[in-house]
Amino acid sequence: MNTTDHLPDYREQSPEVAARFAKIKERPVVLEIDHLGRQFAGEHGSVTALRDINLKIHRRELVCVIGPSGCGKSTLIRIVAGLDQATSGRLLVDGKEVSGPGPDRGMVFQGYTLFPWLTVTQNIMFGLEMQGRAKTSARSEAEQWADLVGLGRFKDNYPAQLSGGMKQRTAIARALAANPRVLLMDEPFGALDAQTRCQMQSHLLEIWRNVDVTILFITHDLDEAVFLADRILVLKANPGEVQEIIEVPVPRPRRIDQIHSPEFLATRRRLDELIHPKSEHPPEPLPIIRLTQAGDDVE
Amino acid sequence: MPNRLLNVRQELTTRVRVVLTVLAFLLPLGVWSLVSYVPVIWGPMIKVTESGDVSWLKPGQLMDRHEFAAQVDKTIAEGKAPPAGKRANPIFLPAPHEVGRALYTAFTTKPVLKGDKWLHESIWTSIRTIFWGFVISSAVGVPLGILCGAFFSISRLTEPFVDFVRYMPAPAFGALMVAVFGIHLEPKVAIIVIGTFFQQVLVVANTVRKVDGGLLEAAQTLGARRRQLVLRVLLPASLPDLYNDLRILLGWAWTYLVVAEVVGVSSGITFFINQQAKYRNFDNVYAAILIIGFIGLTTDMALGFIGRRLFPWKDNRPSRLRNFIVRLFAARDICAFADKPLVVKA
Ligand SMILES: Nc1ncnc2c1ncn2[C@@H]1O[C@H](COP(=O)(O)OP(=O)(O)O)[C@@H](O)[C@H]1O
Ligand SMILES: [Mg+2]
């Protein structure tokens, strides 16, 4: 931990980064989460999964939500997608209150959820067809999207014939083709191996740069959050509440070697403090029984 | 080798699979042949070859072994010429070659009574009964099952009653169906419908309910509405399983055939079997039963073959070549797109 002692404050922003944030704040608010709360009826009374969440996301902003497992990240994004109902608060897209799912809020799930009976192109066409587009024009647009996410050669493959990364790229293309105002992503790269995940992150940023879309991205991976986000919403668990909203001081365009830059490390350290707070009660050591022979130590 | 055959959940090689499939038929045939051609194995009867001095015995007559032995002892004790005979099986167990011959001759034998049907006519009647029963049942049962699987309200409204009727044995409706539909084909079709329909609704509903809810959620975020969720998601997602359900249900429909065909005026293959049993032509009886088996098995195999082509995306054993190509590109693709310039979308 010695190397991080001389890190800058994570709130310090270079002039370019500060200018970028000023510019973002001038853009219209696309998604507004207003005093949102969610309680679940449990066996022993109700459980508060989310309490008083407030967030305004501006056009073409990329916001990450991070927090420990079980803090309500999925619940939050499912409510935004309209797949779950908030017990209090409101949700506004482009200033209009919404409830229930709709094509203005596209979603990419951790489990891909591609339609297994449709090819890559047909999966991407699905949203367009739901909006009443003619088959031929939907197909040609879907093929462009397949090219855009680098799946040109796999247009006619079924999901079962794709690797995890390719499936997730299809899912991203499928969501974007429906032309949503907000793209919601719930730990989309969580099931991928480290190398593929890293590639997918760069790829997502490249797509985002070229497409007019606002992204709300859920993750529990600190590096992923810092690498992708303009702002990071940090949740705490029991009940799920906003701890802090961090403006990431790492300049764009992001490159993979920036993960060693001081701003990156400073932000990451701040996230680490928030998510893994120094506990007054260190966890009790496990009652480990020695199974190896004496003198066989690894430490 | 036996060790390799008994690996838990281990796929077999094609050769082993074929060999085992052939054995599955050869083994029962072997047992049958053994019992038929080596009468000492079982042979509870004696086939009389010479009647001796016993006037009421005719050559070729079958008689219980112990009674025959008693008769021989009695005749010898009376000082007369004893009858002779050899071990034989009862008439209800013809030898394989007799049944094999009957598979052909049953089709060429003229019906005994005027008005009786030829075998091929009987089979055709049976197939028509099954066909109409299954088509009518499916035409209502499949859509209703899909609706039950899609909407909990419809399921609650339908399934308790369907479940209740399901436990009533279809043949119990026989007399009623005759009263309603007369004595010909209609009541028989009705029995098949009753036997199939109620199971069908429940099976189809269950299959549709098993569709991954995530697919519905994904479709909703893409703008799909109620109608599209049913027709564009639930239906195609469950289609391969529905197809297999129908294959299994068709098999059930065949099991209702025999009870259906004795309702009203007995008809079809069942009538043929009963008639032949009456004339004690048991080789024809076996032939007819085997033919039902053949028809069932070949239909099922044909449907299975068609199913694998209808749902290529479901193929859990893709060709090795295709697998290889996919993996080859998948590996290369990870490095491929990183520095590729992206097309800017207008
Ligand atoms: N359908 C539900 N019924 C009851 N409790 C739920 C339900 N869904 C989520 N929860 C609870 O809400 C909390 C947040 O869950 P979730 O949003 O899945 O967390 P995360 O995605 O951050 O891991 C958990 O404590 C979970 O037990
Ligand atoms: Mg989650």
Residue A1 scores a pLDDT above 50:
no
The pLDDT value given to residue B308: 83
Q: Which phi and psi angles does A62 have, rounded to 5°?
A: -120, 110
pLDDT > 70: what percent of chain B? 90
What residue type is assigned to position B62 of the chain?
L
Alpha-carbon distance values, A38 to A49, A50, A63, A73 (Å): 6, 5, 21, 12
More confident residue, B86 or A146: A146
Cα distance between residue A17 and residue A21, in whole Å: 6
d(CA B221, CA A174): 10
Please answer whether residues A73 and A67 qualify as being in contact, where contact means their C-beta atoms are separated by less than 8 angstroms.
yes
pLDDT at residue A290 greater than cutoff 90: no
pLDDT score at A162: 93
C-alpha to C-alpha distance for A129 and B223, rounded to whole angstroms: 9
Instruction: State the residue for tokens 């506004």.
Output: A92
Choices 1.10.3720.10, 3.40.50.300, 3.30.1490.100, 3.50.50.60: CATH for B101-320: 1.10.3720.10
Please count the residues of chain A. 299
B87-107 pLDDT tens trace: 888 888 899 999 999 989 888
Q: What does the pLDDT look like over A199-252, one tens digit per residue?
A: 999 999 999 999 999 999 999 999 999 999 999 999 998 889 999 999 999 999
Q: Give pTM, 2 decimals.
A: 0.85
A180: closest CA among B218, B344, B342? B218
Residues of chain B with C-beta less than 8 angstroms from the C-beta of A163: 326, 330, 333
Specify the pLDDT at position B320.
54
Span A95-108, average pLDDT: 94
Q: What angle do CA A268, A272, A275 make, to 5 degrees?
A: 135
pLDDT at position A285 over 50: yes
State how far the Cα of A268 lies from the Cα of A127, in Å rounded to an integer.
Answer: 37
Nearest CA to ligand 1 atom 12: A49
Per-residue model confidence as pLDDT tens digits over A245-273:
999 999 999 998 999 999 999 999 999 99
Tell how far the Cα of A186 is from the centroid of ligand 2, in angstroms.
7
Which candidate from B222, B232, B326 shows the least CB-CB separation from A103?
B222
Q: Which of A160, A180, A207 sits opposite B313 (nearest CB)?
A: A160
Contacts of A207 in chain B (CB under 8 A): 342
Query: How many residue pairs from chains A and B have C-beta atoms closer than 8 A?
Result: 116
User: Is A44 exposed, middle or buried, given 0-12, 13-18 or 19+ CB atoms closer than 10 A?
Assistant: exposed
Chain segment B110-133, per-residue pLDDT in tens: 887 777 788 889 999 999 999 999
Domain map of chain B by residue range?
2-91, 101-320
Using 50, 70 and 90 to split pLDDT, how confident is the model at A281?
Answer: confident
The answer to whether residues A28 and A214 touch, using CB atoms and an 8 Å cutoff, is no
Ion ligand 2: residues, CB < 5 A: A 74
Distance from CA of B226 to the nearest CA of A (A): 11
Q: Using an 8 Å Cβ cutoff, are A103 and B222 in contact?
A: yes
Q: Which helix (H) or strand (E) holds B292?
A: helix B282-310
pLDDT given for residue B325 in this prediction: 56
pLDDT for B333: 43
By mean pLDDT, which of A45-59, A130-144, B324-338 is the weakest? B324-338
DSSP sequence for B243-260: HHHHHHHHHHHHHHHHHH
Q: Taking every pair of C-alpha atoms in chain A, what is the biggest distance, in angstroms?
A: 74
The answer on pLDDT for B36 being more than 70 is: yes
Residue B344 has a pLDDT of 39
What is the average per-residue pLDDT within B61-86? 89
State how far the Cα of A54 lies from the Cα of A31, in Å rounded to an integer.
Answer: 11
Distances (CA, A) of A63 to A34, A59, A184, B5, B316: 16, 11, 10, 56, 39
Among B215, B224, B334, whose Cβ lies nearest the Cβ of A195? B334
- A206 contacts chain B (CB < 8 A): yes
Question: Helix A164-177 crosses helix A120-130 at what angle (to 10 degrees)?
Answer: 20
Is the pLDDT at A175 greater than 90? The verdict is yes
- DSSP symbol at B338: T
The answer to whether residue A283 scores a pLDDT higher than 80 is no
Closest residue in chain A to residue B310, using alpha carbons only? A117
Residue B1's pLDDT is what?
Answer: 63
The Cα B87–Cα B97 span in angstroms is 18
Quote the pLDDT of residue A6: 81
Tell me how far apart the alpha carbons of residues B227 and B204 are, in angstroms, rounded to a whole number.
18
User: For the ranges A66-80, A271-285, B274-288, which has the lowest average pLDDT?
Assistant: A271-285
Mean pLDDT value of segment B168-196: 91
* Pocket, ligand 1, Cβ cutoff 6 A: A 40, 47, 49, 67, 69-75
Q: So what's the pLDDT on residue B146?
A: 97
Kindly state the average pLDDT of the residues A114-130: 96
| pLDDT, tens only, B172-181 | 898 899 999 9
Taking contacts as CB-CB distances below 8 angstroms, the residues of chain A near B342 are: 148, 206-207, 209-210
pLDDT at A197: 93
Beta strands in chain B (DSSP E): 45-50, 62-64, 84-88
Query: pLDDT value at position A177?
Result: 96
